[in-house]
Structure 1
């Protein structure tokens, strides 16, 4: 036997406590709204948990910045910034001078060595001017005698040809010409031997050794001074200049940052609990501030750093370790977006689960 009990509201919906109500439909709407509100309050924890689950584990995002692979240029030593040849945003090529640093101490050492070297060269008495003069005069006299003997020989040859003199007389003149040639060659040989002797003294003398040492020191110091002219190592863009003309800099102090236009990357910072999303080759989406989206992939092994960079961290955020993820774009990035330090949002794709027990273990960890 089927017994049904119907409440009074179902049989007489327009009557309330025996009184006829004219606005019963509106009253029923209020009851329905109250019922839906109670149902929403009852289900709100489940909805909030599902929303938290989606935001925290399904929709994994991280903050990042565009990096143009900046190259930091530092000072090779102490000095004063004398000239800056470039400006921020300027494109430079290989070996282009960027900054010149004046080094007063090094310049003073070079000036002192040049002065000592010039003094030694000026007062170097390795050569013997008197002996050289005698040898030069001896060579000149022998040359004159050789010329005279040559003219005499021509005259005697002509006389002998005309049968005016005998053959014996011609032979004597030829012997004299031969002796004049020997005398001239001997004078030249003597001068050559003297020059070689002077050169040996120049090589082995104490002053010569001192001159060589000073020249070697001078070359080394000038090479060090050339290092204080900072030059670009490749074609790049001047990203930032941290020094100014007149600044006193020390060794290792930052001077300038250069970035190569062709190597735009993104450095993303992800919480360590999402380490499974950081496998090499994993695909991600990079969203720029203007809404532009670009596809990228993880191109380098992930590293753990102590704290989030200050430009991305909140003012009151405590130091916490994060994963540093390097991303490379799948397609060339438009030039307007190749801005060093430009903040971006990175959306990570689904994690690849190699362990079949990973899913259940991960869910159990949420409730521990």
Structure 2
């Protein structure tokens, strides 16, 4: 037997046994606009993804930073940093004192020469032969003091070198100063022996003293001029970007001391994906967007010649560590002073070109 479950109510649900049945409104009726809103919310991630893909294909943007012209201020000779007046982020006027250096060997040498000069001048006009001998003995004492000082300085540098806090060049320089001090002591002792010899004449003593006085004065003039370089000043007006040393630190000749940035001269460094290289011809117009919804017109200064990894702070989650083209952009408009900040993140828009984008897609395929 075949059982069928069918009811005439299916054909006419508003009647029951010939009597009309009236239904009330549905309790769960939902307006259509709520359904549309629900569909829109659910599809939002997909729409956002489609927008990002489309924007990446047709709107060529690249993250970038403001880069000031940099001037490195280096040490003119081996020295010790005595005092630092500059601090990162501070403004520096042209000629402003940034740092003061000190060379202990120069200071000690000037002290020795002054003492020797005073002794020679005191002994030169003496009528008897004992004054030159006294001056020579004073020179010997000064030379011995210099030898002791240079020996202690050499030993301290050697100790720092053994601890990894000094360089081989500093050790060699200290050893050279010590040997020069020994040579000076030997010369002073020789002069004393000549003065004490019976056949030494007073005229020869005066001549030798005058010659030595002239040598000392010439050497002191050179050393005093060198002390003028102990003051490190700013060569241009700008902003201190970094200070590489600390007070009391020994630095070699040519070692970097301060990094100065010049806000008057800046460029934009953009990190562009390599597939967009067709947009980087020299003179290509771009738009640089700064924080605060400020847009400034610019152009590509030169075709990129360097590939670099995009900095982590600019890359985002998916782009970190990728190689990019380093594009240099110059601005066509004057930039406000508060935007001339080293490392300020910006966005560089290289334009929209459907034809170029389609050519790029066909090339990738």
Report the TM-score when normalising by structure 2.
Answer: 0.56
Aligned residue runs from structure 1 range 1-368, under 5 A: 18=11, 20=13, 51=51, 54-88=54-88, 90-124=90-124, 210-309=212-311, 311-313=313-315, 319-350=321-352, 362-367=360-365
1:66 touches 1:267 (CA, 8 Å); kept in 2? yes
- Tell me how far 1:228 sits from its aligned partner: 2.9
Alignment partners' CA distance in 2, 1:297 and 1:233: 30
1:16-50 per-position Cα deviation (integer Å, ceiling 9, x unaligned): 97575999xx99x99xx9xxx9xx99xx99x8997
Deviation of residue 99 (structure 1)?
0.8
Q: How far, CA to CA, are the matches of 1:48 and 1:365 in structure 2? A: 26
For the 8 Å contact 1:282–1:349, the answer to whether it is kept is: no
**CA distance in 1: counterparts of 2:346 and 2:54, whole angstroms:** 21
SS in 1 for 2:309: coil
Residues 167-203 of structure 1: CA deviation (Å, up to 9, x unaligned):
xxxxxxxxxxxxxxxxxxxxxxxxxxxxxxxxxx99x
Contact (CA 8 Å) 2:64, 2:270: kept in 1 or not? Answer: yes
Q: Secondary structure of 1:57's partner?
A: helix
Q: Distance in 1 between matches of 2:317 and 2:215?
A: 60
TM-score (norm 1): 0.56
Distance in 1 (CA, whole Å) between partners of 2:347 and 2:262 is 23
Q: Partners in 2 of 1:275 and 1:219 — Cα distance?
A: 60
- Quote how far apart the aligned CAs of 1:230 are: 0.9
CA distance in 2, matches of 1:16, 1:119: 135
Question: Structure 1 residues 360, 289: closer, same or farther in 2, change over 3 A?
Answer: closer
Contact 2:75–2:254 (8 Å) recurs in 1: yes
Distance 1:48 1:292, change over 3 A: closer
Residue 250 (structure 1) shift: 4.2
| Structure 1 position 91, deviation (Å) | 4.0
Distance, in Å, in 1 between the alignment partners of 2:344 and 2:75 is: 27
How far residue 247 of structure 1 moved from its aligned partner, in angstroms, is 4.1
Q: Aligned pair in 2 of structure 1 residues 343, 360: CA closer, same or farther (>3 Å)?
A: closer
1:113–1:274 CA distance, 2 compared to 1 (3 A) = farther
* Displacement after TM superposition at 1:109 (Å): 3.0
Unaligned runs of 5+ in 1: 1-14, 130-200
1:324 deviates by: 2.0
Q: Give the strand-richer structure, 1 or 2.
A: 2
Q: Which has the larger Rg?
A: 1
Can you list the C-alpha shifts for 1:52-81, whole angstroms capped at 9, x where unaligned? 653333211111112222323233344333
**Residues 83 and 99, structure 1, Cα contact 8 Å, conserved in 2:** yes
Aligned-partner SS, 2:76: coil
